[in-house]
Amino acid sequence: MAVPKSRQTKSKRNSRRSHHALRRTVFGVCSKCGESILPHHTCVNCGFYKGREVINVLAKLEKKEHKKKAKELAGQEKEQQMKKSLSAEELSKKSQEN
């Protein structure tokens, strides 16, 4: 392993690290809706990039809502099945008691 011959000065060390500083993020403005966006990225708000539609945001929202409704319906069906199975168990217990 290499061993330094002499200690490096603070100025030498700091000048080497001069490029390590964080830079402020530069935002652009969407040409369609005026929302601030990162450069070379699609606008999340309207789905446009360089003046043309890349992502159909409305279709995405509809798909998300459809999934949510399907999940709710599945949960309701599961609850109904649980109620039916409990009622069947209760009936069998009552018949055994008689």
7-11, 67-71, 88-92: which has the highest mean pLDDT?
7-11
Contact 86, 79 (CB under 8 A): no
pLDDT at 20: 93
pLDDT at 60: 84
Beta-carbon contacts of 35 under 8 Å, excluding residues fewer than 6 positions away, are: 29, 43, 44, 45, 46
Output 81 or 19, whichever has higher pLDDT.
Answer: 19
What's the average model confidence in pLDDT over 85-89? 67
Tokens of 86: 């409990």
pLDDT band, residue 8 (cuts 50/70/90): very high
